[in-house]
């Protein structure tokens, strides 16, 4: 469903990533509203159990599926490794990529499916974290100043690990685990998202 929805959004917005992210933010707000409704109608004990699945926590990793998740991540990484060079071409723009022989729509759908599967694995392990991908992907681009996705992918993975480890240290040492790390990621991601929107507007 995520692949179908975002494929449609990409076509409607003429492949503008920021508009797609904005639409995703609106949908996230909608689901948060549903969550607030549940608070009012559910038993407090039942809601506390449900909330554990809504908020990402690295203190309660789903160890039961850790082996399966590792195998899937390795398989997907190897499967999509060959697409990194195609991503370099797609970064030039849709028309340029098509002129260079890339089946643009098929590749985009294939990549969206891969992204969805990676996110599904991460969500199954620790829960949902909004904006994390937005933060690490753009930080990797700003740090390396390159469009080669073979480097950007490794840099994004490294930045993601650094962000999560530092965030977890702050949660454990300063806030004594009173606040989940996803709260800090969402706040920082929201601010960074607004910055990207304003910066993109200035470049148009």
How does pLDDT run across 101-143, given as a tens digit for each residue? 888 888 888 888 888 888 888 888 877 776 777 778 888 888 8
The pLDDT value recorded for residue 5 is 73
Per cent of the chain over pLDDT 90 is: 4
The pLDDT value recorded for residue 72 is 93
Phi, psi for residue 201 in degrees, rounded to 5: -65, -35
How does pLDDT run across 149-193, given as a tens digit for each residue? 888 888 888 888 888 888 778 877 887 766 777 777 777 777 777
The pLDDT value recorded for residue 135 is 79
Whether the predicted pLDDT of 194 surpasses 60: yes
- Global confidence as pTM: 0.68
Whether the predicted pLDDT of 53 surpasses 70: no
130 exposed, middle or buried (CB, 10 Å; 0-12, 13-18, 19+)? Answer: middle
DSSP 122-176: HHHHH---TTHHHHHHHHHHHHH----HHHHHHHHHHHHHHHHHHHHHHHHHTST
More confident position, 1 or 83: 83
The pLDDT value recorded for residue 74 is 92
């Amino acid at each position: 469903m995520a692949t179908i929805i975002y494929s449609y959004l990409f076509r409607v917005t003429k492949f503008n990533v920021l508009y797609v992210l904005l639409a995703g933010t609106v949908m996230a707000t909608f689901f948060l509203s549903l969550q607030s409704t549940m608070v009012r109608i559910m038993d407090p004990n039942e809601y506390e159990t449900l909330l554990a699945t809504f908020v990402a926590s690295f203190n309660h990793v789903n160890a039961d599926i850790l082996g399966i998740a590792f195998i899937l991540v390795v398989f997907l990484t190897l499967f999509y490794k060959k697409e990194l060079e195609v991503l370099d071409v797609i970064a030039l723009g849709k028309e340029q990529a098509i002129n260079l022989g890339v089946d643009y729509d098929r590749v985009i759908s294939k990549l969206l499916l891969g992204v969805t599967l990676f996110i599904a694995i991460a969500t199954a392990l620790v829960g949902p974290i909004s904006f994390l991908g937005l933060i690490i992907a753009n930080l990797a681009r700003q740090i390396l100043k390159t469009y080669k996705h073979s480097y950007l992918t490794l840099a994004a993975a490294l930045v993601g690990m650094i962000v999560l480890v530092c965030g977890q240290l702050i949660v454990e040492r300063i806030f004594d685990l009173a606040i989940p790390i996803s709260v800090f990621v969402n706040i920082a991601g929201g601010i960074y998202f607004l910055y990207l929107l304003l910066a993109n507007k200035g470049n148009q």
